[in-house]
């Protein structure tokens, strides 16, 4: 349930069932043990094919070089690719520079979760629209449902679509995904020593229990018995795999292995899956906020000590907290807002935290 479903739904809605100009195939089938992508494209184009959809492309060895060849040979062929491995897709994009338009499919927003859970279709809002008229949009959402009734469940287990396939075994499946990324993808494609996989999983558990203030790399290194430079390298790889999120005070000056100023797990579901105890609510809130804003395409930076929690798109500062959160942290700052949990309506520049889950 996800990218494959989306791809097939797109084909169904844009092409007739008997249209011979469109072809869908999955690169992980046995067919490709004796055939190549180039063979398929060649035969398809010879019979007038125009639209080729290839799913699970990352499971085909050397996919990027073959896709580049297909692109150069068959200029009238429209190719759509999908893959589940962010790391392998990133590796293949170098061969396809200036030839491919990438779309990163994040997990479910709160809005999308409610659509699947309740069957209600609430129209998304943009961040500028929400900040300009927060109460108007909050009233619209509340006319459809009570968002606070479902918000905690989403924070705990609503981010990945496979929640709806088997809710009871959700965390088991999420743990399997984490293990696969660490044990297989990072060892095979990022040079992670097999002997360090347990340390990486320990690192993720430490991050899950951190309060997201100043990041202490020395403490992380000591807790996992990994050297400081190696810890920084692993954190970069874990972010590439969508397991952690590193925040910096200025994205334009970040160096390759710079120490992050703030750090979260990628989404709040990972917090509940990896924490040995119930996650600290402040960490859950900030993790949710950073995830939803970044997933909606916004630049998310660390606002700075005593200047708010997050700076969005270089000019908007947001402080995150509970219902009683005030504006003292934002004193003297322009275009500053409080995202407050456990409230239903907006009051001036104080906006319900849940409302930021409707940006996509």
Mean pLDDT of the residues in the chain: 93
Mean pLDDT along residues 319-324: 96
Are 86 and 242 in contact by the 8 Å Cβ rule? The answer is yes
pTM: 0.89
Give the closest residue to 336 by CA, choosing from 311, 353, 305.
Answer: 311
For 16-49, the pLDDT digits (tens) are 999 999 999 999 999 999 999 999 999 999 999 9
Give residue 304's pLDDT: 85
Distance CA 196, CA 191 (A): 10
The token pair that represents 58 in the structure block: 């990352």
Distance CA 17, CA 137 (A): 39
Distance CA 92, CA 74 (A): 20
Distance CA 186, CA 192 (A): 6
Higher pLDDT, 4 or 37: 37
Lowest mean pLDDT segment, chosen from 104-118, 146-160, 187-201: 187-201
Q: Is the pLDDT of residue 305 over 80?
A: no
For 82-91, the pLDDT digits (tens) are 998 888 888 7
For 213-270, the pLDDT digits (tens) are 768 899 899 888 889 999 999 999 999 999 999 999 988 888 878 999 999 999 999 9
Whole-angstrom CA distances from 245 to 172, 311, 327 are 22, 15, 26
Mean pLDDT along residues 312-337: 93
Distance CA 221, CA 231 (A): 6
Distance CA 254, CA 268 (A): 25
Query: Which residue do the tokens 């899950």 mark?
Result: 208
């Amino acid at each position: 349930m996800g990218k494959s479903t989306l791809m097939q739904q797109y084909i169904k809605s844009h092409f007739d069932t008997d249209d011979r100009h469109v072809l869908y195939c999955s690169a992980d089938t046995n067919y490709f043990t004796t055939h190549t992508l180039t063979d398929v494209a060649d035969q398809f184009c010879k019979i007038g094919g125009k639209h080729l959809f290839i799913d699970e492309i990352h499971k085909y060895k050397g996919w990027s070089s073959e896709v580049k060849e297909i692109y150069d040979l068959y200029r009238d062929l429209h190719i759509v690719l999908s893959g589940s491995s962010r790391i392998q897709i990133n590796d293949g994009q170098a061969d396809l520079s200036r030839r491919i338009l990438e779309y990163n499919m994040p997990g479910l927003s709160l809005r999308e979760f409610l659509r699947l859970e309740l069957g209600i279709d609430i129209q998304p809002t943009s961040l500028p629209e929400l900040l300009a008229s927060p109460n108007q949009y909050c009233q619209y959402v509340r006319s459809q449902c009570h968002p606070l009734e479902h918000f905690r469940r989403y924070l705990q287990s609503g981010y990945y679509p496979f929640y709806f396939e088997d809710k009871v075994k959700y965390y088991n499946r999420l743990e399997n995904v984490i293990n696969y990324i660490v044990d297989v993808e990072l060892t095979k494609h990022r040079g992670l020593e097999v002997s360090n996989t347990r340390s990486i999983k320990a690192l993720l558990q430490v991050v899950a229990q951190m309060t997201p203030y100043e990041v202490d790399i020395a403490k992380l290194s000591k807790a996992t018995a990994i050297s400081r430079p190696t810890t920084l390298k692993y954190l970069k790889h874990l972010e590439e795999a969508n397991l952690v999120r590193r925040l910096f005070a200025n994205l334009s000056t970040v160096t390759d292995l710079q120490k992050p100023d703030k750090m979260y797990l990628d989404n709040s579901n990972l917090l509940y899956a990896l924490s040995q105890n119930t996650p600290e609510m402040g960490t859950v809130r900030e993790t949710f906020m950073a995830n939803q804003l970044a997933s909606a395409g916004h630049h998310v930076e660390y606002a700075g000590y005593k200047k708010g929690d997050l700076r969005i798109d270089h000019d908007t500062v947001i402080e995150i907290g509970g219902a009683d959160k005030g504006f003292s942290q934002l004193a003297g700052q322009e275009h500053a807002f409080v995202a407050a949990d456990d409230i239903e309506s907006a009051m001036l520049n104080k906006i319900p935290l849940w409302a930021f889950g409707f940006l996509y």
